[in-house]
Amino acid sequence: MASKAIHAYYDDDDVLMLAVKKVKAAKHHIEEVYCPFPVHGLDKAMGLAPTRIAITSFIYGCIGLSVATLMMNYIMIEDWPQDIGGKPSFSYIENMPAFVPIMFELTVFFAAHLMVITFYMRSRLWPFKKAENPDVRTTDDHFLMEIDIHGNEKELKDLLLDTGAVEINIVEKTSH
C-alpha cells in the first residue's frame, strides 16, 4: 500500500465524470471518489461492480415468509388448535387467508430491515463512527478524487490538472 496519495478537487459533477473517464483511460486505479450527492453514472464510469443488496433482500424476504409460516403453524395449528369464532384450525392451508396479512408483513419486515442492516455493515456505518471525510468541502460543493502515488507523482499531477481539477494536494495516508 502506498504511503502517499494525491487528492484532486473538482467543483462540477460533469467535469468529475470526464476526469474519471480520463484517469481510467490512463490506467490509473482510483482509490476513492468523495461527492456531496449521488452522481448518476459515476459507478459505471469507475467500473464498480453492481450491488448485490437486492439479492440479499430477496433471501431475507424468503426467511421472513418462512418465519411467519412456521410461527403461525406452530401456534395456531399444532400447539393449541382452538376454535376461535369458527375458524377452521385443522390444517394450515384451511385457515391460511387469516395468516396472509402476517405472512406479508413479516416478509416485508425481514426483507427491509435485514437489508438495511446489511447495508450498514457492508458500508461500515454505525453511531459514533469516526467520519472518514478527507475534506469538509466534499460534503458541500466539492468533489474529490483520491489516487495512490506509486512514484509517478509528476505524471499524475499533470494528468489531473489536465482534467480540470481546481486544486491538487499530496497527502500522507493514515490507515484506518
Partner 1 sequence: MYTFSNKLKIGSFILMALGILGIAIGFISAPSTVEEAKAIVASHGDGHGDAHGAVEAYGAVAEGHGDAVEAHGEEHDSSHDEHLLHQLQNKPWAALYVAAFFFFMIALGVLAFYAIQRAAQAGWSPLLFRVMEGITAYIVPGGIIVFVILVLSVLHMNHLFVWMDADVVAHDRLLQGKAGYLNPTFFLIRAAIFLAGWMFYREYSRKLSLRQDESNDNANFKLNFKWSAAFLVFYLVSESIMSWDWIMSVDPHWFSTLFGWYVFASMFVSGITVIAMVTVYLKSRGYLPDVNNSHIHDLAKFMFGISIFWTYLWFSQFMLIWYSNIPEEVTYYVTRIADYRLPFFGMIVMNFLFPVLLLMNSDFKRMNWFVVLTGIVILGGHYMDIFNMIMPSTVGDQWFIGIPEIGAVLFFAGLFIFWVFRALSTAPLQPKRNPFIEESRHFHY
Interface residues with partner 1 (CB under 8 A) are 54, 58, 86, 97-98, 100
- SS3 assignment, position 172: strand
CB of 78 to partner 1, least distance (A): 22
CB-based contact 115:51 (threshold 8 Å):
no
Complex with partner 1: residue 47 or 86, whichever CB lies closer: 86
Distance CA 70, CA 64 (A): 10
Complex with partner 1: residue 88 or 169, whichever CB lies closer: 88
Complex with partner 1: residue 54 or 121, whichever CB lies closer: 54
Complex with partner 1: residue 58 or 120, whichever CB lies closer: 58
CB of 45 to partner 1, least distance (A): 15
CB of 118 to partner 1, least distance (A): 18
CB of 76 to partner 1, least distance (A): 14
CB-based contact 14:154 (threshold 8 Å):
no
CB-based contact 4:168 (threshold 8 Å):
no
Length of the chain: 176
Distance CA 151, CA 147 (A): 12
